[in-house]
Amino acid sequence: MPGEPLLVAESLARGFGEGEGRLELFSALSLTLGAGEAVAIVGPSGCGKSSLLHLLAGLDRPDAGRVLVDGKDWASLAPEPKARWRGEAVGFVFQMHHLLPELTAEENVALPLLLAGVADSAARAQARELLARVGLVRQATSLPRILSGGERQRVAIARAVVRRPRLLLCDEPTGSLDAAHAADVLDLLLGTARERAGALLLVTHDPGVAARCGTVLTLSSGGLVPA
């Protein structure tokens, strides 16, 4: 049962380039995501799925339209409060994990807390707790380069949810994994999203992954349509 809307995107338009070479990704895209919902967005490569996620996370500006997360419009926020709100409200999982190579698994997970001003010892304790939750407590002191692809992605998921964001945005989180690891990671994502985040929006090109979410939308012809 969907609750209050956590994410509202109204009439979004975004394109790249100028003049005849301009590529319009979408022109009037709208989307509403309520608490407790898990939505998958599918579509062919280059259709603008990642760009849409960046707009929803307030990392990019739409050419038109607006995005509200938990009632706050990204466009109305100055850089400092916008960064604070993003850290607090949004968890983001990348396809390529994007862990910082010089930091251990524990430090990577603790990083969002440290950026929010949490004390080092408390941040590390929470990070260890989450690493235990994703089955990586023994790898807490390992650097990303000695972890497997699946392990890195689990660390990235732990990092995304460590601040208990209400909105979890995932950009092809299983794209770089084999089937077995992809299934594990997806279980973890759906579980942690249900447990720690209010809503999950997942972008994927894999219909099998999309089918695990409650709602599947296709990004096509500049808008979202039910798959």
Partner 1 sequence: MVAAAAFVGLVLGVGALVLSLALLSGFQAHVRTRLAEEAPHVLVAPAGRPDFTAAEGAAAKLALLDGVVSVTPVVRGRGWITARGQAVPAVLVGREQRDGIRLDPAQARQLSILAGEDVTIVSSRTRLSPLGPVPLTASIRVTEVAALATGRKQPEAVLPAGMARRLFGLPEGGATGFELRLSDPEAAPAMALAVREALGAETTATTTWQEANRPLLLALRLERVAIFATVFLVVIVAGLNLAATSAVLAATRRGDAAVLTVLGASPRLLGRIFLFAGLLLGFAGTLAGLGLGFVLAVVLDATHAIPLPAELFALAHVPFRPAARDLLAVGAFSLVWSFVSSFVPARMAARVDVTEALRAG
Contact status, residue 220 vs residue 47, Cβ threshold 8 Å: yes
CB of 50 to partner 1, least distance (A): 8
**Cα separation of 225 and 216, whole Å?**
9
How many of the other CB atoms lie within 10 Å of CB of 11? 13
Q: How far is the CB of 197 from partner 1 (least distance, A)?
A: 15
Please tell me the distance from the alpha carbon of residue 225 to that of residue 161, in angstroms, as a whole number. Answer: 28
Measured from the CB of residue 58, what is the shortest distance to partner 1 in angstroms? 10
CB of 195 to partner 1, least distance (A): 20
The residue written with tokens 């850089």 in the block is 79
To the nearest whole angstrom, how small is the minimum distance from the Cβ of residue 150 to partner 1?
20
Residue closer to partner 1 by CB (options 112, 198) is 112
Residue 65, phi then psi, degrees to nearest 5:
90, 180
Positions in the binding site for partner 1 (CB under 8 A): 50-51, 54, 57, 59-60, 79-80, 82-84, 86-88, 92, 94, 96, 98, 100, 111-112, 115-116, 159, 163
Q: In terms of CB distance, is 76 or 225 closer to partner 1?
A: 76
In the complex with partner 1, the residue whose CB is nearer, 43 or 165, is 165
Nearer to partner 1, 156 or 216 (CB): 156
Q: Which residue has the tokens 């979202």?
A: 224
| Identity of the residue, 60 or 63, whose beta carbon is nearer to partner 1 in the bound complex | 60
Q: Which is nearer to partner 1, 161 or 185 (CB)?
A: 161
Q: How many other CB atoms are found less than 10 A from the CB of residue 99?
A: 23
**C-alpha to C-alpha distances, 147 to 1, 107, 136, 137, 138, nearest whole angstrom:** 38, 14, 10, 12, 11
In the numeric block, the tokens 């910082």 are attached to 100
Specify the residue, 60 or 184, whose C-beta has the smaller distance to partner 1. 60
Write down the least CB distance from residue 79 to partner 1, Å.
Answer: 5
Backbone angles phi and psi of 31, in degrees to 5: -160, 140
**Nearest distance, CB of residue 44 and partner 1, angstroms:** 17
- Residue 102, φ and ψ in degrees, nearest 5: -85, -10
Nearest to 168 by CA among 2, 7, 5: 7
